[in-house]
Amino acid sequence: AAPADAALTADRVTKRFAGLVALDAVDLSVRPGEIVGLIGPNGSGKTTLINALSGVVPATSGTVRIDGRDIAGLPSHRVARLGIGRSFQNIRLFKDLTVLENVIVAVTGSGRGRAGGAVAERAMAALAELGVDGLAGRRAGQLAYGEQRRVEIARALAMRPRYLLLDEPAAGMNPAESEALMRLLDDLRRRTGLGLLLVEHDLKLVMRLCDRVVVLNKGQVIAAGVPDQVQADPAVVEAYIGR
């Protein structure tokens, strides 16, 4: 079981790119079983925050902790082993490998996706969680777009993360596909206690699904709280509409 203080936390995380402050003293936490929405206009720092939380891009200052453990200086594959999974905005499947091989490669970190029974079983279980185990033998490049998105999430899940960071997982999906994916993620976190951080541009969907919402604008948190609170916040309305 997760300890009482289990959480993925950002504490005053700042990221500078040359002259640009992409993240400015951002605080955020995701606890087990929770869905936190991360929203904000284009260029507000959402992807950069996911990169900082997953060790892909180190923070310039501030601290990222996974269940109390500071990730400073750790490469992203070590951060992954500490329990952070993520998906990317652009699909990153190996198109010539099968769906199952794609997941196995992610778990074993090498090879052409051949592995013993235990790893294959684990990969199949992750595909089943996303409802795409029936596609295991197909080449990833032949799948429909929405199916590829699900395989990507399955691949992250096969690493057995405690926190999963999803960067626009429903991008390019039609409303029915996106709704089905969100229901699946909601069910998954309730059953497994996975903590989810969701970047999603459909505000209605975010407000309906998320326990809490964090709003970024120009690298700063301008609002954070339960959906009703955040939705009614004048600063949020201003950031989205008053530009």
Sign of CA dihedral 87, 192, 81, 147: negative
Burial of 94: CB neighbours in 10 Å, binned 0-12, 13-18, 19+: middle
Quick one: 17 or 145, whose CB is closer to ligand ADP? 17
**Minimal distance in Å, beta carbon 45 to ligand ADP?**
4
Q: Is 42 in the site for ligand ADP (CB under 6 A)?
A: yes
Q: Starting from the edge strand earliest in sequence, which strands make up the sheet with 35-39, in order? A: 84-86, 163-167, 195-199, 35-39, 212-217, 220-225
Q: Quick check: 120 and 104 in contact, CB under 8 A?
A: yes
For residue 54, state whether it binds ligand ADP (rule: CB under 6 A): no
Does 43 sit near ligand ADP (CB under 6 A)?
yes
37 near ligand ADP (CB under 6 A): no
Q: Give the Cα separation of 78 and 74 in Å (integer).
A: 6
| Interacting residue with ligand ADP among 26, 30, 36, 46 (CB under 6 A) | 46
Q: Tell me the closest approach of the beta carbon of residue 62 to ligand ADP, in angstroms.
A: 15
DSSP 182-243: HHHHHHHHHHH--EEEEE-S-HHHHHHH-SEEEEEETTEEEEEESHHHHHT-HHHHHHHH--
Q: Is 48 in the site for ligand ADP (CB under 6 A)?
A: yes
The interface region with ligand ADP, picked from 15-23, 115-123, 130-138, 173-181 by CB under 6 A, is: 15-23
Q: Does 87 bind ligand ADP (CB under 6 A)?
A: no
Q: How far is it, in rounded angstroms, from Cα 216 to Cα 29? A: 14
Element (H, E) at 36: strand 35-39
Q: Which of 2, 5, 12, 17 binds ligand ADP (CB under 6 A)?
A: 17
| CB of residue 221 to ligand ADP, shortest distance in Å | 12
CB of 209 to ligand ADP, least distance (A): 19
- Name the residue nearer to ligand ADP (CB basis): 38 or 135: 38
Q: Does 178 bind ligand ADP (CB under 6 A)?
A: no
Binding site for ligand ADP (CB under 6 A): 17, 20, 22, 40, 42-48
